[in-house]
Amino acid sequence: MCFAHGIIPLALRTSLHSFLASIIKFESHNKGLTLSYLVKEIFYSIQGEGFYSGRPAIFCRFSGCNLWSGKEADREKAVCRFCDTDFVGCDRLEGGLFKTKKELAQKIEKLWPDKNIKSDRPLVVCTGGEPLLQLDAGLVSVLHENGFEVAVETNGTILPPPGIDWICVSPKAGAQLLLSSGQELKLVFPQSGAEPEKYAMLDFQHFFLQPMDSPDREINTRLALEYVLSHPQWRLSLQTHKILGIK
């Protein structure tokens, strides 16, 4: 199969990224290799979206995504064109190249305010970009050993390693959804080709509609509210961290 001028259809490009990520993980596991982790930033805040909105958490933002390069010049030809996150490189707070699972887990643990204070189990949210390009079972295990509950926010195009405590999938129109079960499905709304009806029968415990953050945000919020009120299986998710003006 060949494509003129090197142009690969978006759906195939997504599948290729997922396939290559799976091969890398498989080969590394079987050869005993230790992969390093490229992390954009790590910070402590509250979860601003979805089921755990308002809950304190450490956010570990992995660099890279399989649906967009992160470069504005590529946005119009990307699978995901509405991303509002900078996930390129490792130049933000506490970001960097971590050579071992233990090194990254220790960095995450140091940002939790005080593990001696009585509270829920400390939560780390692995996000991106697309965190499942890098997050593996070994890192999940080390984070568990350090006392953390591990959550992931993924576009659902890559199958996760075992052991993750909370899986939140945010499907994107034009991307093949491989991950069809988890704790939370959070759909940015509206998306042509990713209507809520397409996902309502999937095996998730909670379903959220989140208004797309764009110049039409007020209209999108009204549309999402109307849909939720007429389809009570769904709940409304607002980006409260943006409302509060925090990270």
Residues assigned a catalytic role: 59, 65, 80, 83-85, 153, 241
3-class SS of residue 32: coil
Given a contact cutoff of 8 angstroms between Cβ atoms, the answer to whether 132 and 152 are in contact is yes
Looking at residue 72, the DSSP 8-state letter turns out to be G
Given a contact cutoff of 8 angstroms between Cβ atoms, the answer to whether 22 and 87 are in contact is no
Where b means 16+ CB within 10 Å and e means fewer, 25-59 reads beeeeeeeeebebbbbbbeeebbbbbbbeeeebbb
For 141-197, the DSSP string reads HHHHHTT-EEEEEE-SSSPPPTT-SEEEE---TTS-----EEEEEEEEE--TT--GG
Structure tokens at 236: 């409304």
Closest C-alpha among 48, 68, 69 to residue 57: 48
For 80-93, the DSSP string reads --------SSS-ST
Alpha helices in the chain (DSSP H): 10-31, 101-110, 137-145, 217-230, 240-244
User: How far apart are the C-alpha atoms of 156 and 175, rounded to whole Å?
Assistant: 9
